[in-house]
Amino acid sequence: MRIKIPKNYSVIASNINLLRTWVMKFISFFNDSKIRLMRWMLAAWICVLLIVCIPLPAFSAVTQIEEYPGQMLYQSRQKLQDQNGNSWQAIAFKRIHPEGSSTVSLRVVGFPGAVEFYRTQPLILTTSMGETLTAKDISSEISKGTPTPANVAEYDIKSVLPQLQAEIPVQLTLPVVTGSAIELQIPSTAIQEWQTISAH
């Protein structure tokens, strides 16, 4: 029995071969793209791991200012949040006077109009180990002759800092006129900066 081959067989075969070639190229391209995509994803994942897992060098936030000849000011600033999610600024500083005397203070600043400090009460510092220390309010010394804003308080922490362990976080309890006392969590890195300032 003879099979009859159509006259346009060579054209059909040619089209089939061309189609097969295009399909193979498409599959090859897809596979290459998939591999490229996988490589990019792997590289991105490695970068994320490097950023998250490898600690970056610590850069000190301690600044040094010569207020005027012979008087130096060292300070460290932290932005903190209280238990209600409100933002605060804590500024620890040491001022060295020309005659050699020095003061080490912590100034705490809340949002204007949102808080009023209870001036006669001390700042309470509680370590995560349960130890409690107090720092005297010296807000009246911020600016002589000018009333200190209600949302600003300053405390003498010179005698308190040597009693803190740099690796143990501290909670500050701020006395306020109305409502519950404000609680701020101070990370160990901030304690280290404050102690660095005090050591100058």
DSSP letter at 111 equals -
Q: Are residues 154 and 112 in the same domain?
A: yes
**Is residue 1, in this structure, part of any structural domain at all?**
no
Establish if 181 belongs to a structural domain.
Answer: yes
* 18 & 103 share domain: no
**Is the same domain home to 22 and 121?**
no
170 lies in which domain range? Answer: 63-199
Note the pLDDT of residue 55: 39
More confident position, 124 or 114? 124
- Provide Rg for the chain, Cα atoms: 34
Mean pLDDT of 22-51: 59
Question: Is pLDDT larger for residue 54 or for residue 155?
Answer: 155
Question: pLDDT by residue (tens digit) across 72-101?
Answer: 889 999 999 999 889 999 999 998 888 888
pLDDT-derived band at 64 (thresholds 50, 70, 90) equals confident
Question: Out of 31-35, 65-69, 142-146, 171-175, which region has the weakest mean confidence (pLDDT)?
Answer: 31-35
Q: How far apart are CA 100 and CA 71, in angstroms?
A: 9
Residue 51 in any domain: the answer is yes
Same domain, 28 and 78: no
Count of structural domains within the chain:
2
User: Do residues 43 and 119 both lie within one domain?
Assistant: no
Rounded Cα gap, residues 30 and 44, in angstroms? 21
d(CA 101, CA 103): 7
pTM over the 0.85 mark: no
Choice among 4-8, 56-60, 97-101, 119-123 with the minimum mean pLDDT: 56-60
pLDDT of 168 over the 70 cut: yes
From 119, 138, 122, select the one nearest 177 (Cα to Cα): 119
* 78 in the same domain as 37: no
Judgement on whether residues 79 and 131 belong to the same structural domain of the protein:
yes
Say what the pLDDT of residue 60 is. Answer: 44
Task: Tell me: do 84 and 155 sit in the same domain.
Answer: yes
Q: What is the pLDDT of residue 1?
A: 47
Together in a domain, 91 and 156? yes
User: Using an 8 Å Cβ cutoff, are 172 and 82 in contact?
Assistant: no
DSSP 117-168: B-TTSPEEEEETTS-EEEEEE-GGGSSTTSPPPTTEEEEE-TTTGGGS-TTS
